[in-house]
Structure 1
Amino acid sequence: MKEKSNLGRRTGLGITAEGDMLAALGIRYGTEEANEFSTEVHKQLAVTAYRSSVQMAKERGAFPIYNAENEKNNPFIRRIKDADPSLYEEMCTYGRRNIALLTIAPTGSVSLCTQTTSGIEPVFMIAYTRRRKVNPNDKSTKVAFVDQNGDAFEEYQVLHPKFKVWAKTKGYDPEELKYLSAKELEKLIEQSPYHKATAHDVDWVMKVKLQGAVQQWVDHSISVTVNIPENVSESIVSKIYQTAWESKCKGMTIYREGSRDGVLVKQGNTTNSNQNEKFGETNAPKRPKTIEAEVIRFKNKEEDWVAVVGIMDGRPYEIFTGKANSFSALPSWVKKGWVTRVKASSKEPARYDFSFTDQDGYNVIIQGLSRMFLKEYWNYAKLISGILRHGMPLPNVVNLIDKLRLDDDNIMTWKNGVARALKRYIKEGTKIKQACPECKQETLIYKDGCVTCMNCGHSKCG
């Protein structure tokens, strides 16, 4: 690997803070003027970098596999030749030190250190919430968010540093900006060169055209992400990719807002997005005659109990529970089967039959689940089934069952078993809107079938 690397001596000279450069010059990102200016900047950078590499070749020798004849028709080399013919002649005579020199690398972390925009990107946002991954077991951290993978993050508010520099030139105290209301801040942004030039409101097609123009003067690749809103149309996405291809971009990434839990979050998006939804009735999906079912066994005090959970579209649709000795026809090895709703006549109530395939491959039917279970437990199970059918989120169903306060100890133990049975269907990493009983932080998630705090590590199973 070292030998092959030395044959070409690739380097990756690049830039960052292009968005801030344009803003400082009073040029709005995503315009024809901005694209033309940026292209000229990268042209000068490329020519100067190649001139430096040729000079080093004079002093130390060219990279070992240099051959002017092999690359005379290379489009990039031809652009260097057109931009500076004398440089090209020198390069043919002496070669150059490096086979390729330029890269616009991912500079997200670097831009945090430089407090600037990243690479050739526009500013992400003037004001936003940033997430930093943390160790939830570290007592000095305060977990504010847990993603779908169970990773913990802390959050802090950010105001773009170079916007604060601009505001200072207009007589504002940068430290006072954080006390402005959202409306006051928006009004100030409208007066700045960053107005209509952030990642979310820039002209995306013009942004891709900028990448294509800059790519003409970068011999390696360019790291770029086009940020688009969640409700963007397919035609716009198609137009962005089409433009990238037409502009001869080497690569390009589109990030649609909401497609994953981001590290950077628009202010106002950190709270529940459903808070504006209207209250209304829901209709349960029509039950097929037969649905798949899973058999779960649990303890109610010292007694063995069985839960038959009907599954539709991968989530619990209904549940039947009772003592295992009342369900003696069901072998202990049975884990899956089917529940069939049977309506003999309009005058008789429907019954539910459970069927499974035995070890010899024969279908076995156990008729009338309801007659095998105590009426009281059956009625409670019917109530829970009704909630499941109408689509209440499973964490809410479990929370509702947990909060039931019943007089009979047997029923209290039974409902705990039902809650445990349903918990296994909750997706790993699902966040619970409750405070941890130990650290009082709202950082509880479902993990390995238990409720676990990502802040202090407290865990409760069952």
Structure 2
Amino acid sequence: MPADLPSIELTENSAAILTRRYLRRGDEGKPIETIDEMFWRVAYHIAKVEESYQQDVIEQARSFYRLMASRCFFPNSPTFTGAGTPLGQLAACFVLPIADDMGRESTGIFQTLRDAALIQQTGGGNGFSFSRLRPSGAMVKSSAGKATGPVGFLRVYDHAFGEVAQGGSRRGANMAVLRVDHPDVEEFVTCKTVEGAISNFNISVGITDAFMRAVQNDEEWELRFPDVLHPAYRNFHGTLEEAEKVGLPLRTYSRVSARELFQKIVQQSHHNGEPGMLFLDAANRQNPVPHLYTLEATNPCGEQWLGPYENCCLGSINLNQHILEDGSPDWEKIRESTITATRFLDDVVDANAYVPAVPQLREAALRARRIGLGIMGLADLMYASGIRYGSPEGQEFAAQVIEFIRYHSMLESIRLAEARGAFPAIQGSIYDPANLTWQPPQPLQPYQNDWGRPEIDWDAVTQGILRHGIRNAAQATIAPTGTIATVAGCEGYGCEPVFALAYIRHVNDNGRDLQLTYASPAFEKALVNAGIDAETRQEIFNQVMQEGTCQHVEKLPEAIRNTFVVSADITAEEHVRMQAAMQAFVDNSLSKTINFPAGATVEEVATAYMLAWELGCKGITVYVTGSREQVVLETHSTAQKKAEPVVEKPADQLQLWSASKKPRPRSLAGFTYTSQTPLGKAFITINENGGSQPFEVFINTAKAGSDTAAVSEAIGRLISYILRLSSPIEPSKRLRDVMIQLTGIGGGRPLGFGPNRVLSLPDGLAQVLKDYLAARDERLSSPQAPAPEQKNGNRHSDEETPITEMPMLKIGDLCPECGQAALVNEEGCRKCYACGHSEC
């Protein structure tokens, strides 16, 4: 690395996350490079591509390094972890085709499963359309049997991916899509009703314009599929539309009310956020290469429509680093960053090793040379500019920013085409200079505001394509930015609003867990600029921590209250309109979650879905606060108002249960086990009383004071209470019954493979109890057998432990890494606001 290059400036928390996620490690697990060396590794490896175009590699590497070290642009996580490493896989995710075939075709069900497993091992995610699989129960002519159907094979895929070891530092996700006219669509819609079912997939229904019009008109809707017994079907692997074109007859399996089917989709999404909707016709109207394929599926977070074997080559401009002193956008700096970032991503297409065992991946990538340049920190820029996210003004502002980036990215792609050649599949595409059908994008509403943006001349893009073609068949995508946005120091992830102005953040201080109150720097700066004194600022932050928003803080100036909205302050309609305003200038799609408050109705979700379709969105993901069983979303004040649970006393209690629990001796011996669970390492101690009977159980997990630790202690207390009750059933049998009840409880993030697989914390505890009971049986049957290492047992206090009260805002699900209730649904994935953990 050249010595004269600047070092990157990061906060302590950002540096810790970057070190944990991206730095290369040696055999002992310790980093073997510094943060600056990591950035140079990435810059140099990507710039090496320039050599094949007779360009100066070192000079271009310097340019790439400065772009990233200034935090103006970051590529997606796989580029950080894979560039310059033996793995060399730089793409986040892929779309793989599935044909209605078991083994003859390269796109057959199990051949695709093999390809997907290889991608999962590199840390990549996959999207699939299961729409070409014949319906459940349909005749299989070759075997005279009946078909498993899409949902059955979805379960096969889900189970397989749960067992696949994944490489790198990220967990590969998956997307399953089924068309709304497929005969099995109703089964598909409800396949994730039970929490933990099909846990390795997001699911979305592929929606057509015809269906939405049928919903509007309250018409019947046909669920249909090509006639699988027709002789022409054996060699047919196309879409439903293609079947009609080639004369393959379609069989109608049933007719349903379009509105009732739409309502089922909406009700399920209201229940737990899935399925999402993907608007197939909207996506295909902007398909840049319709001569190659029809778009049927997206990547796992829904922002990237891809053809068979294509991948996401993603990166994001950090708008928080493009703000002038007066808070306005630094348009010239945005232009410069866009040009360099576009070149960087085009080089990634060549530098990527993909997965050598699946050669179709490289072939598809080089054929269209798709890139996806997006943003992060939009909310930061809007805070600085004094613009309310979601307002008509905010919708226009977002549109102007995205249009500016798309415009200059296309100009750079044209310059690259002039120097290096257009993408190979340009002939027949919408960018074909001999038959140009591409049209410059237009805003949904005429612009009313001037934020000093330089003039845009779309005719220059049109003329450039006619002369030189264009290097990349797609240029823009707004992707999830979980980890990279945290490292870059953004308050707003991707194109989302800020989720919270204040919360608890955990910092490791030489092994000690420090709980620090995080306060929005932009919000604090606004308070200072407004002349609010330090004492009043503290009062305001305390109120924000209590209520989760600043909208009811009377001491705030109206201008600050209007600007500093968070996700919960924005209506669902405003969320959708923001998405649509940006979608107008994004040729792929964008990852955004439409958040609803806890009291939202099914009808409100239905309205959002209909509005998203009407405004031209290519997909929509909704999330109703608290809709998942494990979600905790409450302020400190509302938690205090919860009523005590009412326990009804049985009218007739048998005498044998009347005795109180057995007193605890002063000292007990026991056995301590460790178990790796999805929520971290657990230490489980089982103490015994007379007759080698289990007497009490202690479970220690995560950090003291966390929700996970509290839940663990509660489970231990309940088991101990069961063991200490007077009963004719011996304690070891009671513990065995407890073990049976806990076994197999599923969670959202299973851990391990095969017999060592742990589905959840309760499941991990059940496995330990099973091991203890087996060892106990062996000890009692063989008195001479060595006992496991004993440890003096700890003691449950019969009095409640005092809880230190903190002004903490619980903003989501329990995080698997830190155990805090700060894992939120955002950008189509989940991220933790307490420790920075991200599934993106």
Q: TM class by shorter-chain length?
A: 0.5 to 0.7
1:123 Cα deviation from its structure 2 partner = 0.4
- CA deviations 1:83-139 (Å, max 9, x no partner) are 62232022112111111111111012222122221111110010124589x9xxxx9
Match of 1:243 in 2: 611
* Partner of residue 402 from structure 1, selected from 718, 723, 741: 723
Residues 229 and 79 (structure 1 numbering): CA distance in 2 closer, same or farther, change over 3 Å?
A: closer
In the TM superposition, 1:379-390 aligns within 5 A as none
Higher-Rg member (1/2):
1
- CA deviations 1:37-75 (Å, max 9, x no partner) are 211221222122111211222222222222377446756
Which whole-Å CA distance do the structure 1 matches of 2:618 and 2:792 have between them?
A: 48
Q: Is the 8 A contact 2:498 2:565 kept in 1?
A: yes
Query: What is the one-letter code of the residue matched to 1:161?
Result: P
Match of 2:636 in 1: 268
When the two chains are superposed, the root-mean-square deviation of aligned CA atoms in Å is 4.4
Which whole-Å CA distance do the structure 2 matches of 1:131 and 1:265 have between them?
A: 19
Local SS of the residue matching 1:254? strand
Local SS of the residue matching 1:128? strand
Which whole-Å CA distance do the structure 2 matches of 1:232 and 1:141 have between them?
A: 41
* Partner of residue 222 from structure 1, selected from 571, 590, 612: 590
Q: Is the 8 A contact 2:626 2:633 kept in 1?
A: no
* Partner of residue 737 from structure 2, selected from 421, 432, 457: 421
Residues 53 and 422 (structure 1 numbering): CA distance in 2 closer, same or farther, change over 3 Å?
A: closer
1:4 Cα deviation from its structure 2 partner = 2.6
> Which has a greater percent of helix?
2
Higher mean Cα deviation, 61-70 or 208-217? 61-70
**Structure 2 stretches of 5 or more lacking a match?**
1-360, 444-455, 652-713, 748-760, 771-790, 794-840
- CA deviations 1:410-451 (Å, max 9, x no partner) are x698355435424532476799xxxxxxxxxxxx96734257
- Verify: 1:108 aligned to 2:482, yes or no: yes
Which whole-Å CA distance do the structure 1 matches of 2:428 and 2:792 have between them?
A: 67
Local SS of the residue matching 2:503? strand
Query: What is the one-letter code of the residue matched to 1:127?
Result: A
Q: Is the 8 A contact 2:383 2:522 kept in 1?
A: no
Query: What is the one-letter code of the residue matched to 2:466?
Result: C
Q: Is the 8 A contact 2:368 2:472 kept in 1?
A: yes
Which whole-Å CA distance do the structure 1 matches of 2:591 and 2:488 have between them?
A: 18
- CA deviations 1:6-61 (Å, max 9, x no partner) are 22222221111111211211111110111012112212221221112112222222
Query: What is the one-letter code of the residue matched to 1:237?
Result: V
Identity of aligned residues (%): 25
- CA deviations 1:234-286 (Å, max 9, x no partner) are 111111222222222122222222244889966529x9x5872145453879x
Which whole-Å CA distance do the structure 1 matches of 2:792 and 2:566 have between them?
A: 42
Which whole-Å CA distance do the structure 2 matches of 1:267 and 1:70 have between them?
A: 51
Higher mean Cα deviation, 31-40 or 6-15? 6-15
Q: Is the 8 A contact 1:22 1:28 kept in 2?
A: yes
In the TM superposition, 1:3-402 aligns within 5 A as 3-67=363-427, 70-71=430-431, 77=440, 79=442, 84-116=458-490, 117-129=492-504, 140=511, 157-171=517-531, 182-183=542-543, 186=550, 187=553, 192=560, 197-260=565-628, 267-268=635-636, 273=639, 276-278=642-644, 280=646, 282=648, 398-402=719-723
Which whole-Å CA distance do the structure 2 matches of 1:25 and 1:123 have between them?
A: 15
Local SS of the residue matching 1:13? strand
Residues 394 and 120 (structure 1 numbering): CA distance in 2 closer, same or farther, change over 3 Å?
A: closer
- CA deviations 1:313-349 (Å, max 9, x no partner) are xxxxxxxxxxxxxxxxxxxxxxxxxxxxxxxxxxxxx
Which whole-Å CA distance do the structure 2 matches of 1:107 and 1:281 have between them?
A: 46
User: Which has the higher relative contact order, 1 or 2, with Cα contacts under 8 A spaced 6 or more apart?
Assistant: 1
Query: What is the one-letter code of the residue matched to 1:87?
Result: V
Query: What is the one-letter code of the residue matched to 2:643?
Result: E
Which whole-Å CA distance do the structure 2 matches of 1:102 and 1:459 have between them?
A: 61
Which whole-Å CA distance do the structure 2 matches of 1:205 and 1:107 have between them?
A: 23
Query: What is the one-letter code of the residue matched to 2:581?
Result: A
- Verify: 1:447 aligned to 2:764, yes or no: yes
Q: Is the 8 A contact 2:501 2:544 kept in 1?
A: no
Which whole-Å CA distance do the structure 2 matches of 1:459 and 1:220 have between them?
A: 61
Query: What is the one-letter code of the residue matched to 1:36?
Result: E
Residues 427 and 195 (structure 1 numbering): CA distance in 2 closer, same or farther, change over 3 Å?
A: farther
Alignment TM-score, normalising by the size of structure 1: 0.56
What is the aligned length?
312
Q: Is the 8 A contact 2:519 2:541 kept in 1?
A: no
**Structure 1 stretches of 5 or more lacking a match?**
143-153, 286-392, 432-443, 453-457
Which whole-Å CA distance do the structure 2 matches of 1:283 and 1:93 have between them?
A: 84
Query: What is the one-letter code of the residue matched to 1:421?
Result: D
Q: Is the 8 A contact 1:128 1:266 kept in 2?
A: no
Which whole-Å CA distance do the structure 2 matches of 1:263 and 1:60 have between them?
A: 51
Which whole-Å CA distance do the structure 2 matches of 1:114 and 1:92 have between them?
A: 38
Residues 108 and 422 (structure 1 numbering): CA distance in 2 closer, same or farther, change over 3 Å?
A: closer
Local SS of the residue matching 1:3? helix
Residues 9 and 280 (structure 1 numbering): CA distance in 2 closer, same or farther, change over 3 Å?
A: closer
Which whole-Å CA distance do the structure 1 matches of 2:595 and 2:582 have between them?
A: 19
Which whole-Å CA distance do the structure 2 matches of 1:426 and 1:156 have between them?
A: 35
